[in-house]
Amino acid sequence: MKGEGPGTDEVVARAARVRLVALDVDGTLTDARLYFGGDGEAMKSFSVRDGFGLTLLREAGVRIAIVTARQSTIVEARATELRIEDVLQAVPDKAQALQALCAQRGIALAECAFVGDDWPDLRAMSIAGLAATVADAPREVRERAHWVSVLPAGCGAVREFAEFVLRAKGAFDAALARYAGMPGRPG
């Protein structure tokens, strides 16, 4: 399914059950580019809108987790900034890590979403109640996802997903009202 189109009832029902959103990083939260300097990884580019979407989910009571195969202090810094407690790095088997995280947090896999972008994410996506991916993921990943963004990775795709989940949970309007009703802001 691409975004919110016809035939989405099952996908909306899956999203309504989500209590945990686990995300890959490179190619999901970033544009899939890796920047290296003389001392190794120098930077990653993250979307502020994606970050705010994750904040909105957290404020709505959805737990956020990062599950990535790479190890990066940049990811640790971004997770700290977004108040993401579950940060699993250097993970060789994302499906196994997702199962263990869900068991540790008392969350059924059916109540979990996994957002990934490439073949190493497919096993985790296949066990999650809601499998999501980005518009620029390989065809084989898009075909196996329940939900596919319209926007590319690192450019608002995760925000788009967050809003989809919030709408499915009936929490979108309340989230918007918290911001639209602020004094001194047009609303």
Q: Detail the DSSP E strand segments found in the chain.
A: 20-23, 35-37, 40-43, 63-67, 86-88, 112-116, 130-133, 147-148
> In this predicted model, what pLDDT tens digit does every residue of 118-165 receive, in sequence order?
999 999 999 999 999 999 999 999 999 999 999 999 999 999 999 999
Q: What is the mean pLDDT of the chain?
A: 91
Question: In this predicted structure, what is the pLDDT of residue 184?
Answer: 52
Residue pair 89/70 in contact (Cβ under 8 Å)? The answer is yes
Residue 108 has pLDDT above 90, yes or no: yes
Q: Are strands 86-88 and 112-116 parallel, antiparallel or unpaired?
A: unpaired
Question: In this predicted structure, what is the pLDDT of residue 44?
Answer: 84
From 46, 83, 90, select the one nearest 62 (Cα to Cα): 83
Q: Measured in whole angstroms, how far is the alpha carbon of residue 63 from the centre of its chain?
A: 11
> In this predicted model, what pLDDT tens digit does every residue of 66-78 receive, in sequence order?
999 999 999 999 9
Question: In this predicted structure, what is the pLDDT of residue 183?
Answer: 55
Q: Identify the band that residue 38 occupies on the pLDDT scale cut at 50, 70 and 90.
A: confident
Residue 186 has pLDDT above 60, yes or no: no
Q: 3-class SS at 156? A: coil
Go through the chain and tell me how many residues it has. Answer: 187
Question: In this predicted structure, what is the pLDDT of residue 5?
Answer: 41
Question: In this predicted structure, what is the pLDDT of residue 121?
Answer: 97
The whole-model pTM stands at 0.90
| Residue predicted with more confidence, 187 or 80 | 80
Q: What is the DSSP string of 79-103?
A: HHHTT--EEE-S-S-HHHHHHHHHH
Residue bearing tokens 């390989």: 138
Residue 33 has pLDDT above 80, yes or no: no
Q: Domains of the chain, with CATH numbers?
A: 9-180 (3.40.50.1000)
